[in-house]
């Protein structure tokens, strides 16, 4: 069946449905890419992209500042660029009319004119965004601009008004963003009267890459030209240079004319960019609607893997918008033929079923993305694992934040190990487990190194950690000790699963490093000098660090609860009453701030859900005999921290899906404090938002068809578990095994307005920990 006939058949069948059936909202209809786009970061925008798309077409309206990119409250646009990955940008496109103007202009003064630039105000009421689609009408020329994409190619549709105009489409390589790059070498070439090609070799700090591109129009171009700096060159069939430069094409538009543009990019070559374009766009011809419908179908299938029933419309919007964010920001960097550029800038070839993926760090994603991906989309977890191993194979290290497939050194520890381990433990094993363990062994036994381009591979401060068992205050953050130890535990669990008992013993001993920096006199994790003495100028709320001594983006209060694999071990050291009282008091105080340390003032707030180090905090009461407090405080975070408008989506750093994935799991009432890396993974139970949530399980990996969670009587008031049944049998513990879930489980919770303090609270009800309870 041809693409055209398939789309016609789908439309015909839809027309036969009764009106109420056609109007029923689907999961995709609740996902709002505009949610949370005020005070957001470069990677969080309302643009058109596919899951992990290489091309992420989005409007940019800010200067090159922190949290640059798109700001919802700014009513102008300076261009629509292709790349919105961490530390990476590329190729901005902008339609204009009238006298040619190559200056972008200021976001604070967007009036069109030679002195101010081509930036255009927008008719805000025309702005629309949905997964795979963005549209807005520009005041400059009244041009309606629509965007949609495939994975590696973009589609622009420019609709001009009811009068003839001199029109231009500008291709600007100078893209302002959080980490604005220097253009070292660039070139544009006119291929024909409909097509241009080129590249931009750009660099920021350690990040160096080349964006190759091809762009083609659906009608002949009437003029070509370009600029370098402020110098314009007309009739330029070729333009080569560096620094701020770009290219333009001219049209004499007729009234109500539509001009369409298709683009594609590649980090490998112009030839690959053209192959990406032909492979992904040619099947759709020049039908913008067909490409948009394809993007919608892909997103609809993905978001439809979880179906929630009942509950409020607002909570459904929050649920599916957060799920959308869990898959939208990270990036595929291999081309349709499997080619990619490794960390040493060498062209490589991967299996077509193994996309090479890039992103910001996997810092503590074991509390959000890892859980969602391994449960709902195990193929995604497999692809990430295989991508890590390809990078290790050619670069020699596992990447912790493979932006553009470079070793960034962002963030601390090597928590990609947690994703690899959890993937294997959950039965997702279509990768080379021995190679994976080899890579983990290397990462966890070898001090990290500065890479030739100035990045960092492996673990910082690791020589001292291996020597002393902790990171001394003179060198770095004491909190790194805890993060290294967690990765050691993951490595130990992986070793146990593979039958490597000697390696397992070594790693499991190191996994207890928490005790080395625990000061029993104050019952907190404390900064410790190389000579073994405690740092004196200290308090539980001091010493947030971004580099050097202290606690990485946190404080002692938060990190004293950071032993994901051994919550019972913390309770043993702190005492159960102190553990519960301290944690609950922290939530009471943090509730006043909606669980967010505004302005990155991490020292001031105990529970800071707006950053990674203690996103597990609300779930810890399941371990300490008070699961009703987990139910209470997870609900509070979902209500207060998470919003449903452009101005309130996530109060802190959403960070490429991490906040989103936490919400999706918590809204279903599930979580994994240990990141799912134990030999027998399990889920802790919280307070589901919806009366029913059904996960369609991937039958390639899991034999069950669906996993269903029913929360009878659940509401804003009825947030406490009264009783539970799992697979038809009474459940008295606040946790269940992963294997039982993916075999096709059915969890039924009866909810009520007051805590049932007898459910899940007995000493033997707590989830597994590395340490045993001490009486």
**pLDDT reported for residue 417:** 98
Average pLDDT for residues 597-624, to the nearest whole number?
92
Task: Round to the nearest angstrom and report the end-to-end CA distance of the chain.
Answer: 69
Q: What is the pLDDT of residue 2?
A: 40
Give domain status of residue 583, yes or no. no
Residue range 201-252, pLDDT digits in tens: 999 999 999 999 999 999 999 999 999 999 999 999 999 999 999 999 999 9
**Omega cis (within 30) before 411:** yes
pLDDT for 775: 66
pLDDT number for residue 547: 84
In a domain, 294, yes or no: yes
Indicate whether 33 belongs to any domain: yes
Residue from 360, 418, 292, 488 nearest 86 by CA? 360
Q: Report residue 116's pLDDT band, with 50, 70 and 90 as the boundaries.
A: confident
pLDDT of residue 61 exceeding 70: yes
pLDDT surpasses 60 at 7 = no
pLDDT of residue 604: 83
For the chain, the average pLDDT equals 94
Q: What percent of the chain has pLDDT over 70?
A: 96
Is 84 within 8 Å of 58 (Cβ atoms)? Answer: yes
Map residue 759 onto helix, strand or coil: coil
Q: 200 lies in a domain? A: yes
Between CA 605 and CA 611 the distance in angstroms is 11
Instruction: Reply yes or no on whether the pLDDT at 768 is more than 80.
Output: yes
Give 61's contacts (C-beta < 8 A, 6+ positions apart): 70, 71, 74, 76, 77, 78, 107, 119
pLDDT single digits (tens) 360-379: 999 999 999 999 999 999 99
CATH number at residue 256: 2.70.98.10
Average pLDDT (731-757) is 98
Q: Where are the alpha helices (DSSP H) in 362-469?
A: 369-376, 378-395, 416-425, 433-445, 462-468
Domain interval for residue 162: 3-303
174-208 pLDDT, tens digit each: 999 999 999 999 999 999 999 999 999 999 999 99
Give residue 112's pLDDT.
Answer: 53
Q: Which helix (H) or strand (E) holds 570?
A: helix 567-574
pLDDT average, residue stretch 669-680 = 98
Long-range contacts of 598-605 (CB under 8 A, 24+ apart): 598/651, 600/553, 601/544, 602/544, 602/553, 602/554, 602/555, 602/558, 603/541, 603/542, 603/543, 603/544, 603/555, 604/541
Is the pLDDT assigned to residue 113 strictly greater than 80? no
pLDDT at 5 over 50: no
Instruction: HSE, CB side, 13 Å, CA atoms: give it for residue 721.
Output: 33
Per-residue model confidence (pLDDT) at position 598: 87
Distance CA 595, CA 609 (A): 5
pLDDT band at 4; cut points 50, 70, 90? very low
Average pLDDT over residues 148-169: 95
Number of structural domains the chain divides into:
1
Asked whether the beta carbons of 295 and 149 are under 8 A apart, the reply is yes
CA–CA distance, 642 with 655 (Å, rounded to integer)? 14
Q: What is the C-alpha separation between 132 and 51, in angstroms, rounded?
A: 9
């Amino acid at each position: 069946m041809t693409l055209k006939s398939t789309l016609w058949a789908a439309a015909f069948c839809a027309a036969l449905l009764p009106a109420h059936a056609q109007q029923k909202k689907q999961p995709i209809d609740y996902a709002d890419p505009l949610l949370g786009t005020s005070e957001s970061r470069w990677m969080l925008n309302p643009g058109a992209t596919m899951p992990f798309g290489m091309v992420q077409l989005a409007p940019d309206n800010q200067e090159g500042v922190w949290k640059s990119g798109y700001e919802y409250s700014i009513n102008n646009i300076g261009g629509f660029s292709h790349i919105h990955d961490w530390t990476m940008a590329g190729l901005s496109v902008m339609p204009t009319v009238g006298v040619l103007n190559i200056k972008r202009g200021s976001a604070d003064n967007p009036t069109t004119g030679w002195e101010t630039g081509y930036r255009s105000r927008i008719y805000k009421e025309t702005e629309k965004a949905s997964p795979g689609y963005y549209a807005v009408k520009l005041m400059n020329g009244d041009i309606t601009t629509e965007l949609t994409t495939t994975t590696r190619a973009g589609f622009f549709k420019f609709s001009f008004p009811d009068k003839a105009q001199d029109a231009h489409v500008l291709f600007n390589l100078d893209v302002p963003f959080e980490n604005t790059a220097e253009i070292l070498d660039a070139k544009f070439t006119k291929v024909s009267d409909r097509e241009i090609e080129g590249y931009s070799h750009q660099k920021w700090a350690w990040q160096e890459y080349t964006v190759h591109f091809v762009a083609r129009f659906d009608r002949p171009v009437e003029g070509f030209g370009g600029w370098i700096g402020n110098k314009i060159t007309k009739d330029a069939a070729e333009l080569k240079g560096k620094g701020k430069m770009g290219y333009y094409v001219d049209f004499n538009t007729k009234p109500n004319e539509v001009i369409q543009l298709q683009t594609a990019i590649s980090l490998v070559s112009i030839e690959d960019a053209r192959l990406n374009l032909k492979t992904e766009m040619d099947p759709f011809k020049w039908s913008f609607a067909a490409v948009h419908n394809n993007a919608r179908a892909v997103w609809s299938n993905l978001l439809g893997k979880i179906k929630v029933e009942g509950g409020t419309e607002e909570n459904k919007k929050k649920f599916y918008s957060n799920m959308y964010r869990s898959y939208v920001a990270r990036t595929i960097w291999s081309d349709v033929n499997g080619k990619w550029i490794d960390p040493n800038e060498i062209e490589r070839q991967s299996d077509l079923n193994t996309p090479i993926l890039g992103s910001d760090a996997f810092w503590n994603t074991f509390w959000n993305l890892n859980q969602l991906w391994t449960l709902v989309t195990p193929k995604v977890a497999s692809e990430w694992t295989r991508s890590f191993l390809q990078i290790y194979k050619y670069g020699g290290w596992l990447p912790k934040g493979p932006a553009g497939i470079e070793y960034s050194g962002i963030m601390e520890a090597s928590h990609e190990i947690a994703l690899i381990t959890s993937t294997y433990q959950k039965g997702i094993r279509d990768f080379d487990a021995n190679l994976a363990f080899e890579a983990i062994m290397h990462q966890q036994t070898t001090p990290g190194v500065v890479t030739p381009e100035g990045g960092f591979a492996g673990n910082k401060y690791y020589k001292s950690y291996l020597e002393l068992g902790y990171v001394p205050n003179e060198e770095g953050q004491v909190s790194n000790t805890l993060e290294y130890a967690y990765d050691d535990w993951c490595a130990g669990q992986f070793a146990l699963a593979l039958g490597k008992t000697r390696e397992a013993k070594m790693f499991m001993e190191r996994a207890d490093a928490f005790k080395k920096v625990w000061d029993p006199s104050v019952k907190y994790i404390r900064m410790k000098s190389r000579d073994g003495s405690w740092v004196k100028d200290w308090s539980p709320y001091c010493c947030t660090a971004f580099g050097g001594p202290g606690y990485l983006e946190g404080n002692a209060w938060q990190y004293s609860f950071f032993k994901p694999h051994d919550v019972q071990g913390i309770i043993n050291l702190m005492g159960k009453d102190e553990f519960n009282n301290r944690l609950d008091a922290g939530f009471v105080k943090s509730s006043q701030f909606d669980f967010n340390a505004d302005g990155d003032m991490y020292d001031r707030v105990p529970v800071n859900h707006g950053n990674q180090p203690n996103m597990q905090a609300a779930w810890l009461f399941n371990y300490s005999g008070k699961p009703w407090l987990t139910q209470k405080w997870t609900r509070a975070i979902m209500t207060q921290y998470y919003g449903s408008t452009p101005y309130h989506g996530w109060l802190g750093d959403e960070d490429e899906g991490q906040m989103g994935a936490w919400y999706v799991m918590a809204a279903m009432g599930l979580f994994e404090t240990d990141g799912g890396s134990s030999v027998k993974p399990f889920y802790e139970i919280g307070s589901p938002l919806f009366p029913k949530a059904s996960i369609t399980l991937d039958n390639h990996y899991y034999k069950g068809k669906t996993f269903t969670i029913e929360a009878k009587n659940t509401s804003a008031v009825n947030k406490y578990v009264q009783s539970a049944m799992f697979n038809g049998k009474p459940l008295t513990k606040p946790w269940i095994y992963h294997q039982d879930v993916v075999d096709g489980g059915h969890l039924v919770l009866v909810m009520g307005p007051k805590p049932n303090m007898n459910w899940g609270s007995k000493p033997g009800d707590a989830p597994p920990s590395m340490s045993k309870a001490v009486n």
